[in-house]
Amino acid sequence: MIRNHGAVQKSLGQAALPGLISIDKKITVELLPDSTGPRQSPGEYSIRDIMMKMRAGKTRLWQGIFKGWNGKWYGFFPGTDDSATYQATEFAKDPAGTIKIHLIKQGWSRNCIKALIKKSCTESAAEAATHAVWCTKTQ
């Protein structure tokens, strides 16, 4: 109910999420083993599930993800938070690549990440995500 209030709506930023086509398709997660051995799967996840758990500091990054009348996906973030605004704008440049890096850092298997991106993104976005790499120097 509070999200319908005009002040809340005006404080949200909006970012188009190019390359996403079906953000609710789930896959069963396979985690890579860590130093203590194999890790148990946390279950099934979709792109929406992953995005809704992302954080910008202590704030949830995505307040909502909706499909526009034109068929494209849009993410809404706290527009008054500079950190959230920066992260959302960077995310919107390459959603598939950003999700790939996010999941690699969390220990997902490469095959699992590839399957999720292939199910949820356009072919061109999935291809571009294969070139995304995590730079430990610049973060």
Is residue 137's pLDDT more than 80?
no
For residue range 60-78, list pLDDT tens digits in order: 999 999 999 999 999 999 9
For residue 135, tell me if it sits in a domain: no
Residue 51: pLDDT over 70: yes
Domain containing residue 21? 11-129
State phi, psi for 43 to the nearest 5 degrees: 115, -150
Query: How many structural domains comprise the chain?
Result: 1
* CA 95 to centroid of chain Cα atoms: 6
DSSP 8-state assignment for residue 3 = G
Q: What pLDDT shows up at residue 35?
A: 85
Rounded CA-CA distance 123/117 in Å is 9
Pick the more confident residue, 66 or 6: 66
Give the integer Cα–Cα distance in Å for 49 and 26.
Answer: 9
Question: Considering the domain boundaries, does residue 71 fall inside one?
Answer: yes
